[in-house]
Amino acid sequence: MRPYVEANISHKSHTTIKYFLKMWSSVSETLIFIFLGVATVDGKHAWNWTFVTVTVVLCLVARVMGVVGLTFVINKFRIVKLTTKDQFIVAYGGLRGAIAFSLGFLLDERHFPMRGMFLTAIITVIFFTVFVQGMTIKPLVELLAVKKKQEAKRSINEEIHTQFLDHLLTGIEDICGHYGHHHWKDKLNRFNKKYVKKCLIAGERSKEPQLIAFYHKMEMKQAIELVESGGGIKLPSALPSTVSMQNIQPKKPPPPKPVERALPQLPKGREEEIRKILRSNLQRTRQRLRSYNRHTLVADPYEDGLGDLLIKKQKMIELEKKIKDMNNYLTVPAAASDSPTMRRARLASDPQAYNMKPQSDSVPTIQVDLASPQSPDSVNLMDEFRQAKQQEDDEQGLMMKPPSGPNKPGEAGEPREQKLIRCLSDPGPSADEEEDEPFLP
């Protein structure tokens, strides 16, 4: 039922439910083990060597027999068979726990006079399996070099090819004429898509094919990662690579206007979600930085709620553009060096924090507009997106401009003005200095 539930609720609800249930299960587990511990220390014990040892031994033997017997049966139907090593680990991993204890505890003393002995034996088995087996299984797994389950992080290529393979194998089975696994799996999928999904999933998500859903999920994850990394401190993608969309698009003669990049049609709901996530994360980032600065730097007289409001407004305008850009750069192209602004804001110890050197374009900067109320536009959030596209935007981004400046025609493809404004609570050389002054020497 999980895919149906997940498709119907928003991202936030999903997180809420997930962690709520995790919390409850942790609490219940803790409670029962506390109970077990107390019963061990304080309970009526009746130790009987024979009974206890025979119980422990028989439990282990029964486990092994069960595992071996069942794998013998299923190996007849498997192509990739379970080896002896696998079976050993499965048998060794049989830890006993709270259920046995609870059942024993529920026995009535009047009908079962030997209850104490049972409980003692149960507790011994539990302790033995949990401590001895539980502690040694990890080194054993490493020693025996057992093949572990792989991290489920799938790339989009693997996803495409998995689907492709499924269809291919189904097709081959059909050609062979035999109703094998793939045939039935395919039939189930089609049934699922045609009837079940339509009933159980609300709205247009019911028609979304799996590949698109996967793609959207991946995009959202990347968007979140990008934002949380605070503008390029740590890149979300594993390999910093300089490959960007330019490198794979077939060469066309330069068009008269900027090339229209194809966008996937994100349904409105998703776009809204992405936007909300980005917005909230940005605010959090800003607050984090603020808390650093409040105690270590002189308070900026302009740092108040008004600034916040402005930032929010500007970010909202910027975000829409960002989403479009982000769709094109799924692996962040440039290897971004640490933004000097961010770094300083964190360390808050650099005396030159307010000296913005005119650096190269690859510096991602978070620039916050604390300046005049009239400036409605662009806060340049993450420069790195621009770099691959518009390498001409150099010092534009690093110079202070008068807040009411008109749109500069010289800016390449950028309809709005870029302004570098003082970063956060940067007071500059003197607190009452006019923000309009460029602080580049």
Give the single-character DSSP code of 128: I
Nearer to another protein, 291 or 360 (CB): 360
Nearer to another protein, 95 or 160 (CB): 160
Residue 247: exposure state from Cβ atoms within 10 A (0-12, 13-18, ≥19): exposed
Give dist(CA 269, CA 277) in Å, integer.
12
Minimum Å gap between C-beta 366 and another protein is 25
Minimum Å gap between C-beta 217 and another protein is 13
Minimum Å gap between C-beta 74 and another protein is 15
Strand (E) or helix (H) holding 16: helix 11-42
Q: Phi, psi at residue 244, to the nearest 5°?
A: -135, -175
Minimum Å gap between C-beta 77 and another protein is 9
Nearer to another protein, 54 or 176 (CB): 176
Q: List interacting residues with another protein (CB under 8 A).
A: 79-81, 150, 155-158, 160-165, 167-183, 186, 190, 193, 207, 209, 211-212, 215, 237, 239-251, 262-265, 327, 330-331, 388, 391
Minimum Å gap between C-beta 160 and another protein is 6
Query: What is the distance in angstroms between the CA of the first residue and the CA of the last residue of the chain?
Result: 63
Nearer to another protein, 216 or 286 (CB): 216
Minimum Å gap between C-beta 409 and another protein is 25
323: CB partners within 8 A, 6+ apart: 223, 266, 271, 274, 275, 278
Per-residue b/e over 413-436, b at no fewer than 16 CB within 10 Å? ebebbbbbbbbbbbbeeeeeeebe
Give dist(CA 89, CA 215) in Å, integer.
36
Minimum Å gap between C-beta 222 and another protein is 10
Instruction: Say how many C-beta atoms besides its own lie within 10 A of residue 135's C-beta.
Output: 9
Q: Phi, psi at residue 202, to the nearest 5°?
A: -85, 150
Q: Tokens 């420069």 sit at which residue?
A: 383
Amino acid at 84: T
**Angle, vertex CA 347, rays to CA 346 and CA 349, nearest 5:** 135
Is the separation of the CB atoms in 182 and 173 below 8 Å? Answer: yes
Q: Phi, psi at residue 396, to the nearest 5°?
A: -50, -45
Both structure tokens of 386: 């621009």
Minimum Å gap between C-beta 391 and another protein is 8
Nearer to another protein, 101 or 215 (CB): 215
Both structure tokens of 83: 């080896």
Nearer to another protein, 159 or 228 (CB): 159
Is the separation of the CB atoms in 424 and 302 below 8 Å? Answer: no
Nearer to another protein, 167 or 288 (CB): 167
Nearer to another protein, 208 or 426 (CB): 208
Nearer to another protein, 243 or 299 (CB): 243
Minimum Å gap between C-beta 339 and another protein is 22
